[in-house]
Structure 1
Amino acid sequence: MKNELLLSAAILPMCGMAGEAIAASPAKGAPKEKQRPNIVLFLVDDMGWQDTSLPFWTQRTHYNDTYHTPNMERLAAQGKMFTQAYACSISSPTRVSLFTGMNAARHRVTSWTLRKNTTHEQPDSVMIYPEWNVNGICQEPGIERTTQVTTLAQVLKENGYQTIHCGKAHFGANDTPGADPLTMGFEVNIAGHAAGSPASYYGKNNFGNKPDGKSPLAAVPGLEKYHGTDTFLSEALTLEAMKALDSAQQKDEPFFLYMAHYAIHTPIQPDYRFYQKYLDKGLPPVEAAYATLIEGMDKSLGDLMDYLERNHLTENTVILFMSDNGGLAAHTRAGELHTQNYPLNSGKGSAYEGGVREPMIVSWPGVVAPDTKCGDYLMIEDFYPTILEIAGVQKYTTVQKRDGISFMPLLTGKGKVKDRDIYWHYPHSWGPSGPGIGATCSIRSGDWKLVYYFADGKRELFNIPEDISEKNDVAIKNPRIVKKLAQKLSNYLRSVDAQRPTLRATGKLAPWPDEIKD
């Protein structure tokens, strides 16, 4: 718990095939090599749905008037906003799903990773938590408590893309292969390692690195040239990303840049380039600092967009903007906790919308219509097949079975994504308490969302379009819907051999949602 506060704060597999990954040429009819688009995947850490001046709701809120993200607005004007984009409620599960196409229940990296063979969970009086994959993922076989996978970066690399990692990795625990992006299909790694947060955002503090060599695990590696300077971490990453793109342009191959910012994760340290104006707005110091992390991230987005324009790359580059989980609301923040993602309930770590609904934008000139919105829901594992389809890679095999479905029809406006349900699974204790936080599993099916609590068997039902704040549990009024969704959720979790806590009172595994008697 202490470490987490310091460091952070049934869909069947589509095209899932077992076997070694192979390099496959683009399918017949796909764009020629030089025409294949560059891809920038811009992932923000702990950014809530409302942590932007760009409203993803049907109306503006005071948060949209507090934060300043002109480059998100600029990107949205060039592309499409997705108002119901979902991820996991915390970082590592999301990042693993993103790079494997697997739902968290399947890959079993269901909580955050850091130290080898070590879980952060504290003993619980009600439940014994399952032995999950605390070491994350890797591409090598036989590594204990990991899931062996073929990563998105690996498939792209084998199909002619230059793969660049910049920023936060958090795929695998320290001293395991998955901790190093260079073993995960990336040819370039800038500042990525096991930890999920920086020890410091300040170059003047060496980003947490100690002169005596006794640095904490969260010390950001590989940015020594900025040590002792006033360079903020988000700026240093952006500068290094552009240098990597300079090198990429020397080759006759498209690039895949995974721009994975540490911001806006704790520690909430002010970026002094923007701090005073938020203090002048009357924000408490921690909230002013939080706002600067957001604006510094947005400046990075704008700098990369400017780079693409200067180098005449905009027309052939796809930019996908996403966050890994909801905004922090359970601790550290000023004011009443669990309200920082209004109108969504709760935040990071929660099964409620505040923990899992993310700001998402996609720009693809000539393909995605500018200044448009999409209200269809999608899940983080859908990025895997979508990005490969964008890249023209249609024939590939992976070690893992996959759950994601391409949302290409939502980008192009041609065709439809078939109706389906999406699932969340978090059979753990995150640490902090709050609404929707705990050992849970959930399903979104059409307008309905069912949340199930392993500890006591409670089932909550919400109609999301009618009750976006999830304040009105209508389970008692709709027993048939509860039964139907509980069965769907349970059947999916059984199909992927999902893990469950053990109840101390009975010594047995907690019931599945459809095993609860009304």
Structure 2
Amino acid sequence: MKKNALLLLGCCLCISSYAQFKDPRPVKRPPNIIVFLVDDMGWEDSSVPFWYQVTATNKRFHTPHMERLAREGMKFTNAYATPVCTPSRVSMLTGMNAAHHGVTNWTSPRKDVSSDVPDETLHPASWNTNGYSPVRGIAHTVYATPLPALLREAGYYTIHAGKAHWGAMGTPGANPYNMGFLVNIAGHAAGHPQSYLSEENYGNMSGKATAQAVPDLEEYYGTGTFLTEALTREAIKTLDEPIKRKQPFYLYLAHYAVHTPLQADRKYYQRYLNEGLDSTAAKYAAMIEGMDQSLGTVMDYLRTRQIDGNTIILFMSDNGGLSLAPPREGQLHTQNAPLRAGKGSVYEGGIREPMLVKWPGVTAAGSTATQPVIIEDFFPAILEMAGIQLYNAVQSVDGNSFVPILRNPAYTDSSRALVWHYPNKWIPEGGPGINYKSALRQGRWKVVYDLRTGAAELYDLQTDIGEQRNLAAQEPQRTTALVRLLSQRLQAWKAPMPVLKATGQPLPWPGENRP
């Protein structure tokens, strides 16, 4: 009897002790994460102003769902990507700066083909023309551990929808499944769609299809469904599975919009014609509004499924707005004013982006952050959002998590330097900040460096967002210091440099003596 009594007392004490020390708080599920990436969308191509004032360009567009996301989350007014698409996408995937991963230009769908335009005096830089690879040893690629694979290892259901454009056909980087995605919708090696129109089967027409024909969307052929809407519908379908499993998901919804070809989304096109825009501008504005409707559809779905309270949305563009005319309307390189130039340029019009983040319970509704951030910051930030503190990545990560900014919009770090490197020739005629340019921003100051000539320009972005007043002559010491810092970063990363045909030698690093 005494033994039984003692045993019963011991059991009671254990139960009491367990009840006393058990954590009564419910285990919080990791947040769902959605990256909503737009192609070629400029800083002002929205009714949301990403400046201290509304511009004339802002007034042209109707993006009520971006307005809604800005009201519910945080707006970044100094967010940056790279001058063209593939470098930005590889930076987001790997956390590396473009000068470091060496995919400095857009990748051709064809393997071992450089997209550089021929030049009379310079050979192309030895950049990674085949893009990114999740497999070691693939020629002309950067090998790194991809973000979706790390999320998948941590238990996320990973979904890719839309444009991939990480690697050339015939290489592992062309296929999103090799990145750790469980689902791939319409992602392949091409950087733009052959067509946005279901009447043209998104390019998949007998005898007319090119490498840019969009795969996987046969059920929408001939239905009148614009490509942006078709991708949105398919992406939402895939969310039912992880929700049913009660599994956190990572949705990378990377729209082909608003890249050329400019084609009218008929649901919105007439509105802009009625407002007095010409047909080209109306097509572009309609594509913007269709993209915005996609964002709204996704947000409405999250609310309907009652998961919006535990879902993070990150909105971003991969480079500045296209400013070539044609295919854009108006005068050449004016479409992003007051920013200078556009896509392909290291001036602000080519790299400054619209960025919004909503993290329920973390970001203050309607808040604005002015701290500069750059595309490689998404890699460490998303891992931190997912609660992944320890991970194995083969690459050295250059990005800084912007989670501290999400928690405190007043966060500032004026010592951090952001770097852009474009040792390539994008278009034959060149343009402001286009072809063979590098740049560095530290605090309010930005230096733009011409790799071909060695000329340096200095701008105070706090007072001159349009980069119209070159202060290099007035501030020679500051200019020299920033050029030196740029050179140090490029050398540390072994950044590719153009080669002088006359000597067969790479151009000097910024600030070095020239032959």
TM bin (shorter chain): over 0.9
Aligned to 2:455: 458
What CA distance in whole angstroms lies between the structure 1 residues aligned with 2:412 and 2:149? 26
What CA distance in whole angstroms lies between the structure 2 residues aligned with 1:458 and 1:84? 25
Task: Find 1:473's aligned residue among 458, 463, 470.
Answer: 470
Amino acid in the other structure paired with 1:307: Y
Aligned to 2:57: 63
State the 1:423 CA deviation.
0.3
Task: Find 2:422's aligned residue among 423, 426, 444.
Answer: 426
Task: Find 2:264's aligned residue among 251, 259, 270.
Answer: 270
Aligned to 2:332: 337
Aligned to 1:8: none
Q: Is 1:92 paired with 2:118?
A: no
Asked if structure 1 preserves the Cα contact closer than 8 Å seen for 2:436 and 2:450, the reply is yes
How large is the Cα RMSD of the aligned pairs? Answer: 1.5
Aligned to 2:17: none
Q: Deviations over 1:256-308 (max 9, x none)?
A: 00010000000000101111110111111111000011000000000000000
Aligned to 2:7: none
Asked if structure 2 preserves the Cα contact closer than 8 Å seen for 1:48 and 1:325, the reply is yes
Asked if structure 2 preserves the Cα contact closer than 8 Å seen for 1:135 and 1:176, the reply is yes
Aligned to 2:445: 448
What CA distance in whole angstroms lies between the structure 1 residues aligned with 2:143 and 2:449? 29
TM-score, L = length of structure 2: 0.92
Amino acid in the other structure paired with 2:474: K
What CA distance in whole angstroms lies between the structure 1 residues aligned with 2:85 and 2:371? 23
Q: Is 1:352 paired with 2:361?
A: no
Residues 92 and 32 (structure 1 numbering): CA distance in 2 closer, same or farther, change over 3 Å? farther
Task: Find 1:499's aligned residue among 491, 496, 500.
Answer: 496
Residues 174 and 417 (structure 1 numbering): CA distance in 2 closer, same or farther, change over 3 Å? farther
State the 1:87 CA deviation.
0.4
Residues 59 and 499 (structure 1 numbering): CA distance in 2 closer, same or farther, change over 3 Å? same
State the 1:126 CA deviation.
2.2
Residues 216 and 414 (structure 1 numbering): CA distance in 2 closer, same or farther, change over 3 Å? closer
Question: After alignment, is 112-121 or 90-99 more displaced?
Answer: 112-121
What CA distance in whole angstroms lies between the structure 1 residues aligned with 2:153 and 2:506? 42
Q: Deviations over 1:115-139 (max 9, x none)?
A: 1000122321121111211111111
Aligned to 2:29: 35
Amino acid in the other structure paired with 1:168: K
Q: Which secondary structure does the structure 2 equivalent of 1:253 belong to?
A: coil
Q: Alignment identity in percent?
A: 52
Q: Is 1:379 paired with 2:381?
A: no
State the 1:454 CA deviation.
1.1
Q: Is 1:312 paired with 2:306?
A: yes
Task: Find 1:184's aligned residue among 179, 185, 199.
Answer: 179
Residues 325 and 442 (structure 1 numbering): CA distance in 2 closer, same or farther, change over 3 Å? same
Q: Which secondary structure does the structure 1 equivalent of 2:406 belong to?
A: helix
Residues 277 and 162 (structure 1 numbering): CA distance in 2 closer, same or farther, change over 3 Å? same
State the 1:415 CA deviation.
9.4
What CA distance in whole angstroms lies between the structure 2 residues aligned with 1:304 and 1:245? 10
Q: Is 1:155 paired with 2:150?
A: yes
Q: Deviations over 1:212-271 (max 9, x none)?
A: 5x6200000000100121000000000001100112212131000001000000000010
Q: Deviations over 1:156-201 (max 9, x none)?
A: 0000100000000001011211111001111100000000100000
State the 1:34 CA deviation.
5.1
Aligned length: 487
Residues 236 and 133 (structure 1 numbering): CA distance in 2 closer, same or farther, change over 3 Å? same
TM-score, L = length of structure 1: 0.92
State the 1:142 CA deviation.
1.2
Residues 291 and 415 (structure 1 numbering): CA distance in 2 closer, same or farther, change over 3 Å? closer
Q: Is 1:126 paired with 2:121?
A: yes
State the 1:33 CA deviation.
7.0
What CA distance in whole angstroms lies between the structure 1 residues aligned with 2:216 and 2:492? 42
Asked if structure 1 preserves the Cα contact closer than 8 Å seen for 2:454 and 2:511, the reply is no
What CA distance in whole angstroms lies between the structure 2 residues aligned with 1:33 and 1:453? 54
Task: Find 1:490's aligned residue among 476, 482, 487.
Answer: 487
What CA distance in whole angstroms lies between the structure 2 residues aligned with 1:458 and 1:221? 45
Q: Which secondary structure does the structure 1 equivalent of 2:266 belong to?
A: coil
Task: Find 2:285's aligned residue among 280, 291, 297.
Answer: 291
Amino acid in the other structure paired with 1:397: N
What CA distance in whole angstroms lies between the structure 1 residues aligned with 2:450 and 2:464? 20
Question: After alignment, is 277-286 or 40-49 more displaced?
Answer: 277-286
What CA distance in whole angstroms lies between the structure 2 residues aligned with 1:485 and 1:421? 9
Question: After alignment, is 59-68 or 42-51 more displaced?
Answer: 59-68
Q: Which secondary structure does the structure 1 equivalent of 2:448 belong to?
A: strand
What CA distance in whole angstroms lies between the structure 1 residues aligned with 2:409 and 2:339? 31
Asked if structure 2 preserves the Cα contact closer than 8 Å seen for 1:330 and 1:434, the reply is no
Ranges of 4+ aligned residues in structure 1 off by more than 3 Å: 31-34, 414-419
Q: Is 1:51 paired with 2:45?
A: yes
State the 1:506 CA deviation.
4.1
Task: Find 2:389's aligned residue among 394, 412, 428.
Answer: 394
Residues 476 and 415 (structure 1 numbering): CA distance in 2 closer, same or farther, change over 3 Å? closer
Query: Which of the pair has more CA radius of gyration?
Result: 2
Task: Find 1:231's aligned residue among 225, 233, 241.
Answer: 225
Amino acid in the other structure paired with 1:199: Q
Aligned to 2:13: none
Task: Find 2:358's aligned residue among 353, 358, 363.
Answer: 363
In structure 1, stretches of 5+ residues that fail to align are 1-28
What CA distance in whole angstroms lies between the structure 2 residues aligned with 1:140 and 1:149? 8
Asked if structure 2 preserves the Cα contact closer than 8 Å seen for 1:169 and 1:193, the reply is yes
What CA distance in whole angstroms lies between the structure 1 residues aligned with 2:330 and 2:34? 36
